[in-house]
Structure 1
Amino acid sequence: MERRLAAVLAFDMVGYSRLMGADEQATLAAFDRHRHTIFAPRARQYSGRIVKTTGDGALVEFSSVVDAIRFAVEVQTDLERDNAGREPDRQFRYRIGINVGDIVLKDGDIYGDSVNIASRLQEFAEPGGICVAGSTLEHVRGKLDLSIQPLGVKQVKNIAEPLAIFKVALDEKAGALVTSLVSPARPVKGKLAAAVATAIVLLVATVAGVWFWGSREAEAPPPLERFAYPLPDKPSIAVLPFINVGGKEEQDHLAMGMTDDLITELSKVGGLFVIARHSVFALGDTARNIREVATELGVHFVLEGTLQRTDSRVRINVSLIDAITGSSMWAERYDRQHADIFVVRDDVVRHIISALAVELSEGESELLAQLPTENLEAYDYYLRAETEGFLYSDVHTYRRSLSFYQRAIDLDPRFASAHAGIARVAVDVWRNDYNLIWSAAVARKIAYDAAGQALRLDPKNARAHTVLALIQLVDGRPVEAIDSAKRAVTAQPNDPEAIGNLALVLAHTGDREAAKREIEKAMRFDPAPSANFQLLAGVTLYTARENERAIELLESAPGDLPDNEPIAEYRAAAYAHQGDLKKAALSAAELLALFPDTNLTYYGYLYDYWREEDRKYHLDGLRRAGIMQWPFGFEGRDADQLQGEQLKEIVANRSWVGKHKNGTEFFQYFDSAGNTAYRSEHTNITGVVEVRAGQLCENFAGYFMDRWTCGHVYRNRDDRDGNLAYVHVSPQALKFFSPQKP
């Protein structure tokens, strides 16, 4: 157990039971007001730590008895002003006792005779008065000019030796000590903070977190009309990125992980409004005060903290600030074994919920009680995966995320969130056809299996339900998709990812008004969304026929997606439906530059799971923007089109040798049983073919989301692209070739 010398201060409201009986609501409100506007700010000013509060009092620890006495004098002076004008029987007064001695620390609390003595000393104080032990005065002799009056030697309950007790007179000398609240400078965040921390690591180790106890009172509370958004009708909070004060970059993921974990846990509470992680991380390295954060994100409360890991221990400081009043709601310092990281997280969540007076449902209590994993190494790899996959800005970040998630699963096969992480990456790969990682078929299977495994381990895993909803939507199972999407939101009601995907599902199943409500709600939780989320929101609003708002989102989406084609695609169609054909054409040109094979037939197949009216709406918008029916605007003459037996003749036991419109050479073989093999410089795949109503239809397993696609074959009468005899046009390519017998 850790021991140290400390000044312990205990205070208690006088006549608490009588006051509660007379007016319970007013008494509770008074104590809450005193705690937020007097006790907590003054404690921070003198580097004190409010160890715990009771219904009518609190226990505070100071490293200096001089600071403890100054705190007591100023608090009683503040309370005297607060009581001015009240009837004597309606005044709220407190007794204070102070003692210095050895204390024992355990789980954030303090114990020992010194603590008990402080609690007993306050009982000897007058209402509004201060009592100290004689031994305590030895530490302030010559340091404070106060009038001290002896009260005699008293026998104190549960303490063996009698104590000499003294009273601190609240006279003119005491009044001369009273000061205004002073705020130490707030440390700089980001890279500069890391550099400074490296140079002063020994200092950080001893005083890390002190700035939390006095850094906020100088900030003026923001006027409500200056908030970027109306405040929600429930307690709203933003968890700022924890600062890694150790200065070691390899520990950055722990600080980010603590931030992300707290956001995730708080997001499970329906009685809270929690800003999404991307929006808080989007604040960047620039140091901002609480007022700026609160007004920019539209929240009432802000949580901030620091984290430092040294070997097997972790030091965490955390503070919950009321941005309206500028006062501290709660603050704490933790010095624990790294193995206790979940205990610290749960304690912080519990204190936030308590400080904001949020009632938990039985289901929420169960969710918050769950540990993600008991294997800390697995958890560490999970945090690395989440950090890598935060933006999914390119194929490499997807791959790194997958490797970290898999390592976490290797260490703990029952780690549900790690399985859900793999499912999320896989469903993105599948839906966006990033076949540099997996083929579509493989990605879909991995997404489905991983989501299923996550739900077997944790039936309320929101991310896994979201993945299933997307698979069910594309599979043409709308009722199941809606149910899964709603389950995700129920499990995590503050999660914009879950809410946004519910909105997308609702838009594609025809409930446009509900889709618009849900996507706006999701964006309120994530006011500075990632490019991925802006694209999702833009597509949802476009599908719901809110083109102006969709264009706004699609235009502002940063160009850091692995594939920017969808932004140009939907923007082109939205501008066309708005009647701005000039901007529609510009977006269509951008789309063609990114994806030269772009054509309406391709999108007709790709979106075959859409409702028919939505698919026609989209294709019409793209057509009006200038997108052609076939790749490269190809138009064949009917007289040149191969039909029936002519078409069968060139695909049965034949090899095609030729090149694509873009110049890529290819070879494709067809046997008499309907099998085919295709090879080019970068591709080697097999599939099946059929001749249907004058069209050649192909299916390559794992490509184009396993869809069959059909196209035409024409004689190359215009001798385009050399002496090749035929042209094959399909939704995916324009190929020139000559058939050869094997």
Structure 2
Amino acid sequence: MERRLTAILTSDVVGYSRLMGEDEVGTLARLVACRKEVIDPAIAQFHGHIVKLMGDGALVEFASIVDAVHCAAAIQRGMADYDQSTSEAQRIRLRIGVNLGDIIIQDNDIYGDGVNIAARLESLAEPGGICISGTAFDHAAQKVDVGFSALGEQKLKNIATPIRVYRILLDPGDVGKVKSASRRPGTLKLKPLVVAALVVASIAVVFAWQTHSVPERPSVAVLPFENLSGDPAQDYFADGITEDLITDLAKLTGLDVIARDSAFAYRGKPIVLAKVAGDLGVRYVVEGSVRRAEGQIRVNAALLDAATGKHVWTDRFDRPETEVFAVLDQMRKELVDALGVEPLATEAAQIARPPTANLEAYDYFLRGEQVARNGDLKGLREALDFYETAVELDPNFAEALAADARTAAYIWRNTYDDVLPNRVAEERAYQKASLAQKYKPSLPLPWMTLAILQNVDGHFDESIASAQKAVNLGPGDAEAYITLGYVQVFAGNFAEASAAIETALKLDPNLSPINRSIAGLVYFFNGDNDRAIAALERAYYEGPEIDDVLISLAAAYARGGRIADARAAIGQSIRLPSSDPSLAGMRINRAHYRYEKDFAFLIAALREAGMPEWPFGFREQGRERLKSDEIESLFFRPTKEGSQTLNGFIDPGKRMATMFVGADRRIVFFTGVYGQPRSQDVAFQAMLFIDVDEDLLCLQSENGFGRRDCGQVFKSADEYPFVFANSNLIFHFKPQN
């Protein structure tokens, strides 16, 4: 475990949920613009590193606390002058917290009190303001062009020791000054008449909220349980307790439960009950904590009525960790009873059954869930290993099998061949999903995975039936509705897809960036281009690493007549290290539409947006294309060795390459380093076969969903007289004499 002392800056947008609710399109556009024009340049100027973006918030690390404070001041000064034409109610304003403290580094993220204190300081800051810790002040005072107001020691939530806090003064007249403050930030002395008026107004608001906003059925959000073990490495266990509770409650038809992504958006943030309830549209909120140490667990949980702020139910469970499933069962029963929900007999039986009787298997499963959510290739590989170990310990562990299938399908769908070869990933996903269905037929996740697999394989009716089965088994599961929307849009049923997405949004108002990008694609095909752009812009802002979101956004921009923005999105996508979009690639990776006209609609938009035909910057302009008979004679000339040999290099990277074309029309590539001896060659790709079809040279392998990857052969004027271009390589070559 790596630790270091570092400077941490956290920020969030004041009133983000209100702004998005009032004008999602405009708010997101302003947020993207101010990040591009104010926030990101300031972070770059002062050498900050963005650890992660969290919806409306950001976590940034600096090697120097002076740079961190300089950056915070530059951002807030820039934001004060930015977008003056926007009304005060609609302007983007930030709160910022800065701390110097010890952190723990794990899985490309940072944890510990150093981060937590920065987040708590952010919540103390006024709109447009900055609060810093005493440790930050001690190192930065007199070294930055700001003033300070000392707020004294403040007791911060879940921080054991009171922290000295200073407010940054940005007025030029306050530079170098350190003032004392007579009261805590945000507190005001009000006259009795004003207090009385506020009380009356509050009662009226609560009454109106109760009578007009609360759904008829009980609605609840389960916020992330805090890990009180003192070890950030145990976060996965507290998250697992929370997710199991959400999953089980979502199975009850008499209860509306907010999905994981929306609930977990509040991790590490100060909880204002009325704000959470208003943001998520719920009457009740569950919060709690988990402490796991020395073979014991302690779980504290409480159900609060958001209208009154009072505890409806609370309990504490102290047990050996081997009894974690009994704790979950008892907590769930008490919570359901407190909510006044009477489960159906079948629902009661489902939620009473523990996922496994093997605690070690459960622990590996939870570890897999944690690393799988990171989405990077290393995390996906580790997740599969964790799930595999869990199943080795309990071969009937349906949840672990289902998670394995979901992850393998994700790897297959995104053709992450570095993690698993495409065909292997597909077979694994089918196999694990089938086993999960066998051991626990009531589990929605295997049906969702099966729906995706069937959809990409072109079995559209079967995929819709599988997704509908998942929805029936998990009526409160937002992921099930997202899956249904996904398969319906590729099947050409755009109205049905849109209806499924709307239900998902009710269950999960803060969809993950991946799911929001699916929603954007659905809106695009359903003709709701403004909503498509809003959803895709937000998905990109919150998840810029997602490959496909920029492609869908470019298509939506093009259909909306915003050609400059469309071309900018394509350009940005090309610059992503994991992406090199081309129309040829789209025909391999996104061609699983039931109706050719729907795919043609997308391709036409992308061509208008400026997506190139071929990858790696290859252009065919001015090159003469070979015809079928010329390609046949070039690649399939009989030789005494029995195979045709073509030497050259491939893009990207100009790797030296040799292609052997056998008499059976099977081929093998060997590649090496450009300019290096042949002894350093390595096997690159073993294709199943090669053929010619209507002036196209077609390769087929186990990758690319088993689809033929057809390209064109051109004459060239350089050392290598021919070029073959398809979706994943540009091969400059000449036949061996």
TM range (shorter): 0.5 to 0.7
Q: CA deviation at 1:495?
A: 1.5
Write the distance in 1 (CA, Å) between the matches of 2:304 and 2:620.
Answer: 66
Could you give the per-residue CA deviations for residues 31-67 of structure 1, whole angstroms, max 9, x where no partner exists?
xxxxxxxxxxxxxxxxxxxxxxxxxxxxxxxxxxxxx
- Structure 2: which amino acid aligns with 1:724? Y
Q: Which deviates more, 624-633 or 429-438?
A: 624-633
Q: CA deviation at 1:241?
A: 1.2
Could you give the per-residue CA deviations for residues 333-354 of structure 1, whole angstroms, max 9, x where no partner exists?
2222222221221222222222
Q: Which deviates more, 424-433 or 555-564?
A: 555-564
Write the distance in 2 (CA, Å) between the matches of 1:428 and 1:337.
Answer: 36
Pair 1:231–1:634, CA change in 2 (3 A): farther
Pair 1:622–1:321, CA change in 2 (3 A): same
Write the distance in 1 (CA, Å) between the matches of 2:249 and 2:415.
Answer: 34
Secondary structure, aligned partner of 1:713: strand
Aligned residue number for residue 125 of structure 2? none
Aligned residue number for residue 260 of structure 2? 277
Q: CA deviation at 1:231?
A: 4.1
- What is the TM-score normalised by the length of structure 1? 0.67
Aligned residue number for residue 707 of structure 2? 707
- Residues 631 and 697, structure 2, Cα contact 8 Å, conserved in 1: no
- Residues 237 and 303, structure 1, Cα contact 8 Å, conserved in 2: yes
- Structure 1: which amino acid aligns with 2:409? V
Answer yes or no: is 1:728 the counterpart of 2:707: no
Aligned residue number for residue 247 of structure 1? 230
Could you give the per-residue CA deviations for residues 205-257 of structure 1, whole angstroms, max 9, x where no partner exists?
xxxxxxxxxxxxxxx78747679x95443211011111222323343222111
Aligned residue number for residue 644 of structure 2? 654
Q: Which deviates more, 601-610 or 634-643?
A: 634-643
Q: CA deviation at 1:299?
A: 0.9
Secondary structure, aligned partner of 2:492: coil
Pair 1:593–1:262, CA change in 2 (3 A): same
Secondary structure, aligned partner of 1:656: strand
Secondary structure, aligned partner of 1:557: helix
Aligned residue number for residue 689 of structure 1? 690
- Residues 642 and 715, structure 1, Cα contact 8 Å, conserved in 2: no
Q: CA deviation at 1:735?
A: 2.1
- What is the TM-score normalised by the length of structure 2? 0.67
Aligned residue number for residue 603 of structure 2? 619
Secondary structure, aligned partner of 2:216: coil
Q: CA deviation at 1:620?
A: 0.8
Write the distance in 1 (CA, Å) between the matches of 2:161 and 2:327.
Answer: 23
Q: CA deviation at 1:640?
A: 4.7
**Of residues 491, 494, 497 in structure 1, which corresponds to 2:479?**
497
Could you give the per-residue CA deviations for residues 596-624 of structure 1, whole angstroms, max 9, x where no partner exists?
75322331333332021210110011011
Secondary structure, aligned partner of 2:485: helix
Pair 1:449–1:289, CA change in 2 (3 A): same
Write the distance in 2 (CA, Å) between the matches of 1:568 and 1:606.
Answer: 15
Pair 1:669–1:323, CA change in 2 (3 A): same
Aligned residue number for residue 315 of structure 2? 332
- Structure 2: which amino acid aligns with 1:601? A
Write the distance in 2 (CA, Å) between the matches of 1:443 and 1:423.
Answer: 9
Question: Percent of aligned positions with the same letter in both sequences?
Answer: 32
Pair 1:592–1:224, CA change in 2 (3 A): farther
Write the distance in 1 (CA, Å) between the matches of 2:559 and 2:663.
Answer: 47
- Residues 394 and 561, structure 1, Cα contact 8 Å, conserved in 2: no
Aligned residue number for residue 370 of structure 1? 353
- Residues 486 and 502, structure 1, Cα contact 8 Å, conserved in 2: yes
- Structure 2: which amino acid aligns with 1:709? D
Could you give the per-residue CA deviations for residues 391-416 of structure 1, whole angstroms, max 9, x where no partner exists?
x3311221222121111111111100
Which stretches in structure 1 are left out of the alignment for 5+ residues? 1-185, 197-219
Pair 1:724–1:245, CA change in 2 (3 A): same
Answer yes or no: is 1:430 the counterpart of 2:412: yes
Aligned residue number for residue 274 of structure 2? 291
Write the distance in 1 (CA, Å) between the matches of 2:281 and 2:583.
Answer: 42
Q: CA deviation at 1:589?
A: 1.4
Aligned residue number for residue 63 of structure 2? none
- Structure 2: which amino acid aligns with 1:269? L
Write the distance in 1 (CA, Å) between the matches of 2:546 and 2:497.
Answer: 24
Q: Give the structure with higher Rg (CA).
A: 1
- Residues 194 and 245, structure 1, Cα contact 8 Å, conserved in 2: no
Aligned residue number for residue 362 of structure 2? 379
- Residues 378 and 408, structure 1, Cα contact 8 Å, conserved in 2: yes
Pair 1:194–1:385, CA change in 2 (3 A): farther
- Structure 1: which amino acid aligns with 2:659? Q
- Residues 618 and 730, structure 2, Cα contact 8 Å, conserved in 1: no
Q: CA deviation at 1:284?
A: 2.7
Pair 1:397–1:661, CA change in 2 (3 A): closer
Secondary structure, aligned partner of 2:307: coil
Pair 1:254–1:431, CA change in 2 (3 A): same
- Residues 647 and 713, structure 1, Cα contact 8 Å, conserved in 2: no
Answer yes or no: is 1:576 the counterpart of 2:522: no
- Residues 597 and 733, structure 1, Cα contact 8 Å, conserved in 2: no
Q: CA deviation at 1:625?
A: 0.6
Q: CA deviation at 1:459?
A: 0.9
Q: Within 5 A, what are the aligned runs for 1:392-403?
A: 392-403=374-385
- Residues 259 and 507, structure 2, Cα contact 8 Å, conserved in 1: yes
- Residues 455 and 592, structure 2, Cα contact 8 Å, conserved in 1: yes
Secondary structure, aligned partner of 2:308: coil
Q: Within 5 A, what are the aligned runs for 1:185-264?
A: 192=159, 223=206, 230-264=213-247
Write the distance in 1 (CA, Å) between the matches of 2:579 and 2:442.
Answer: 43
Write the distance in 1 (CA, Å) between the matches of 2:281 and 2:659.
Answer: 59
Aligned residue number for residue 357 of structure 1? 340
- Residues 669 and 676, structure 1, Cα contact 8 Å, conserved in 2: yes
Q: Within 5 A, what are the aligned runs for 1:36-47?
A: none
Answer yes or no: is 1:506 the counterpart of 2:462: no
Answer yes or no: is 1:308 the counterpart of 2:291: yes
Write the distance in 2 (CA, Å) between the matches of 1:194 and 1:619.
Answer: 59
Q: Within 5 A, what are the aligned runs for 1:406-445?
A: 406-445=388-427
- Structure 2: which amino acid aligns with 1:704? G
Q: CA deviation at 1:487?
A: 1.2
Answer yes or no: is 1:675 the counterpart of 2:666: yes
- Structure 2: which amino acid aligns with 1:628? P
- Structure 2: which amino acid aligns with 1:313? Q
Write the distance in 2 (CA, Å) between the matches of 1:612 and 1:484.
Answer: 23
- Residues 409 and 419, structure 1, Cα contact 8 Å, conserved in 2: yes
Secondary structure, aligned partner of 2:288: strand
Q: CA deviation at 1:375?
A: 0.3
Write the distance in 2 (CA, Å) between the matches of 1:338 and 1:679.
Answer: 54
Pair 1:240–1:187, CA change in 2 (3 A): farther
Aligned pairs, how many? Answer: 527
- Residues 479 and 504, structure 2, Cα contact 8 Å, conserved in 1: yes
Aligned residue number for residue 738 of structure 1? 734
Q: CA deviation at 1:564?
A: 3.0
Which stretches in structure 2 are left out of the alignment for 5+ residues? 1-153, 164-201, 638-642, 673-681
- Structure 2: which amino acid aligns with 1:488? A
Write the distance in 1 (CA, Å) between the matches of 2:683 and 2:417.
Answer: 11
